Structure 1
Amino acid sequence: MDQPLLSELCSICHNEAPKYKCPRCSARTCSLECSKRHKQRAQCSGIRDPTTFVKKSQLATPAGIDHDYNYLTGVHRAINVAAEDAEERAVDAAGEDGKRRRYREHPDFRARVAATRVIIDRAPEGMSRQRMNMSRWNQKRKCIMWTVEWIHADGSRDVTGRDNAVFDLTPLSDAYHALLEGKSKKRKRRSLDLGDHESRAASNINEAVQSAVPNPSESTVSKAKADPSQAVAAPGQAGSPLSENQTVLGLPATSSTDPPTEPKPDDAPEQVSSVLSKAEPPQAPSHHFYLVKPHTSSARPVLIPISGSESLSECLREQVMLEFPTIQVLFEPPALLPDRFMLESDYLAQSRAEAQELDELLAHVKQPLQDDSGHVGGDGGDSVPQDVKMIAEMLQKDVGGGR
């Protein structure tokens, strides 16, 4: 048998026939390992060079057209990726001080915030909330893309990042429903990935059960051929194939003596109503949105009711937020708010009552006066309060003991 030439074999190992060709230098290799070794030896990047010379006869071929199309597509893709990367990393041009500014400090961003009179309390640099903030100005749509912290009714949290930021002109309910749809799509993808393995296992189990259960028609035919005098047993009898299958599958076998159960005429309306009630799809509960008020002295979260039909810009008007808004979603309206939360109106009323009580308490407290000689007195007289005398005696004892 003639041995193949070295030029017909892999240029690296010289053992196998080549299967691949390097797009840059056209070196032929037989496997991925040989391709990697080729790149290391020849310092080849393996990327096609669009500036290489191509003959005129090769330009009008399908390969030449694909080469030009791929080159133009790659340039367009690189431009789009660079623009999206600059927008997603929230980087703007350098300012007068030479430092790079974030998109949230864009002049249009500040102008929109000033127009809606929104107060943004900046977190210290390096804090987790400051690092999570991806709010920026979208130059294409001329609006703000807000990072929003959503607190669901079950207590779970979701923070919108670069991919699912909320536009300030979007209604709040639409933004929340878009978030839920995105989460459901992710769950469906995961279930589909897991469903492939489960379906394979279920198919294997079904095949095993079907192979273990004999075919009723085949068993009946074989019995009839073996003994023609025997009649075919009715379904449900002891010798019927149906009862044998039920025994194999572990199902309770029915006897011929059991009378058939028939529905009573009186129970028909109830059954129909129960079926109709089950057929009706349950109505999804409506969501109520609340803006969480930051920097409160209350142990309970203070909520500000906002409308889901309004845009996020209108909901944040004249409000205070810590880096980005935090929105609580509940099924209860403000009138039926759970006890673990507090409305802003109740919080302000409680704060005013506490401040008034403190002012009244301070008004009734008499502060001791001190004259030029250092003696402590009441309202300028010789009488000294009893508490002041006790404090002075304790100080004298302490000073005397120290000496």
Structure 2
Amino acid sequence: MRLPNLTRYESIGINRVFNMADGHAHQPQTATQRKIVSRLPEWFYEAETARQSDLEEEFRARYYALAGQHSAASLTRTLFCYSASLSTDLIATYLASRQLSVALLHPCFDNLATILRRRDVPLVPLSEPELAPERLDDTFAKLNADAVFLTLPNNPTGFELPREAIHQVIELCGRYGKMLIVDCTFRFFSRNPHWDLYEALEQSGISYLIVEDTGKTWPTQDLKCSILAASADLYDGILDLHNDILLNVSPFILKLLIEYLKDSADAGLAAAIWEPIDRNRRRLREAIQGSCLRVEYPASTISVEWLRILDPDLRSVDLVEKLLDLGLGTLPGDHFYWADHVAGERFIRIALSRDAETFWKACPILMDGLAIR
């Protein structure tokens, strides 16, 4: 039986012996990150006496510096939320209040569509092939929506746009009067050279909203912060909505994340973030060789793996249910295709942000699930 959304599958998966369902950061702490954890009481008391605006300013500056978004480090049109979902809900509420429609990337994590629909925002699917550079002009000329909502890199496929294509998207949004919304919550897994997206957006003069988040990147037990950045014409409206629901993100959480950002800047993204993801990806790809599972996007570098089911008689929801019975939580592909569940029936998603021992033990269980008839 298909459950109503991916978060329901995640909530079941986190209570299984082997949880490869949610994409949050559960990889082990590095040696230097363990030193951060050992100093938690110190950070707590420091945060208790710190000024909120100082912590927000430092967090914003360090986050954007690590992301290569140097023009955004001093950007004051930023709001802080406890999760990317909350930032998305603010966007949805704003869009609904202006009666704006959205072209949303398809596939993507289904809560983006669910949140928008809950606020009665009209949606149309926008496929990854439609965003190919050679098709962008035609795509925008035919696009029947007020805003374009992209997730870059995309969860679950790892899809990214090259820099030139993003500049083209920005130019087309300006030409056709479209708002651009970008979810960058998986940005630190990209291996493409950093370049300043915010600078391009500010120079273009288009309306934009950008969602950032730490929860997919650093193993902080879901103590996280999302940044919602807005263009000058949208900021006051978003600010009013934000004021209705949230005063501030915990200063302790900001202080903790500042220390993780410092550590990653010193260690480098490869050592701080990528290595355990790459190790588990190699292990998974070795395990499924010769099976009815195939890696759909071999070049993907994000912290999940999108697998195609080659067995025509095996649906994703059935495989996920079998794996849950064996103690392994995964996600079915159906719900990522929020406008057409059938299109996702031959995919499952495996989260990679896990410790090596757990992941090593989980791979044979995945193979056991494939053998059950």
Higher relative contact order (CA 8 A, sep 6+): 2
Task: Please tell me whether Structure 1 or Structure 2 has the larger radius of gyration of its CA atoms.
Answer: 1
Q: TM-score higher than 0.5 here?
A: no
Tell me which protein shows more helix as a share of its residues.
Answer: 2
TMscore range, shorter length: under 0.3
